[in-house]
Each structure stands twice: as C-alpha cells, then as structure tokens.
Amino acid sequence: MLKRDQIETFFTRLQAANPEPKGELNYVNPYTLLVAVVLSAQATDVGVNKATAKLFQIVDTPQKMVKLGEAKLKEHIKTIGLFNTKAKNVIKLSEILVRDFKGEVPRDRDILQTLPGVGRKTANVVLNIAFGEPTIAVDTHIFRVSNRTGLAPGKDVLKVEAALEKRVPDKFKQHCHHWLILHGRYVCKARSPECARCIVRDVCQFKEKTG
C-alpha cells in the first residue's frame, strides 16, 4: 500500500501532466450529463457520444425528453448496449424530474440514486462534474488502478471508494476520479499496462511491471 508521501507524489505528477482533466462524455447541462452517464453503463464514452450527438441538439431538458418519447429515444440510442432498458429508465427519470423537481437535477446523492438507472457511481459522476462536488466515482478503471498501484486497495467498489476518500488529500479530490480513469484507460490498462511510459511507475506497487 502506498504511503502518504507516495500518494502526494502520485497525484502531484498526475496533476502536473493534466491540471484540468475533463470527462470524455459530451453534454450541455446537468440533465444531459445525467442522461449520458446513465447511457454509458456497459458502453464506451465514444459510443455514447455518437448516439447523443443529434439527440442533445433537440433534447436538453427532461420536459423535451418526455415529449420525445421512448420509441423515438430508442432510435437515437439503438447503437448502445442495453438500449431498450436504458430508454425506459431515461424516460422514467425524466418524468420524475419534471414531476418532483421542477425539471432540475437534484444536487443530492441519495435522491439521485432513487432515479431509474442511477446508481452510486452515476450519482457521484454527476455531482462531481455538474456541481463541482469532490466525489469519487469508482468504475472498473479506478478499481483496477487503485488496487494495482497500492493507492487504495479494496475487494469491491464501495471499499475502494471509502479508501480513496480516506487516503486522497483533499486538494486532489476534485479531479481524482478523472485522473485515475484516464490513467487506467490509456496507461494502466487491464491486459497490457504501459508501465514504460507511466509517470508514477517508481511509486507504484505493481510487481509485474512491463517494459
């Protein structure tokens, strides 16, 4: 497990390399971000962006989504995995936002998690990106990087999230999950980690480094 000074080095380098990291899902406001994240479950950001390019030009509020309807929504997102279920969830959550929240996305993790298709990870992403909350959304990339490097080991995503909350210095928490996702997606890959070009190689605890 990384020591406190190693964690400081770890994030200082990631920050220096990418001071203002951004999520790779396209969106225009908190509502479209919520929709995009719901659609991204078991799908790639690239695939979601292709599907929502035209959708978000005509639909940018839950009211417009409800008016569009499930059948037409399916036509926009049919290239995404599980699109039938996702379409139902997006329409239902849009109806709830209109009915109970005046069409606004609530800035509350517990409330967000009551919406169809929204789990803790999705809620954390929305809170972080849309509202600037220092939440950490643990996906497969973050889970892998946290365990592989010794940053925040844990047997499940909740334990890794709790470990990151405890171990990551406050000054790095705002962008923590972006740095870790991007590092996992492009460097610390699942099958073939590119250790030779990793900027935190010397503090990483992974024993089977490549290159």
Token pair 């220092």 in the structure block, residue: 134
**Is 121 assigned a catalytic role?**
yes
Catalytic residue (one of 5, 92, 121, 173): 121
Catalytic residue (one of 3, 67, 72, 139): 139
Residues marked as catalytic: 121, 139
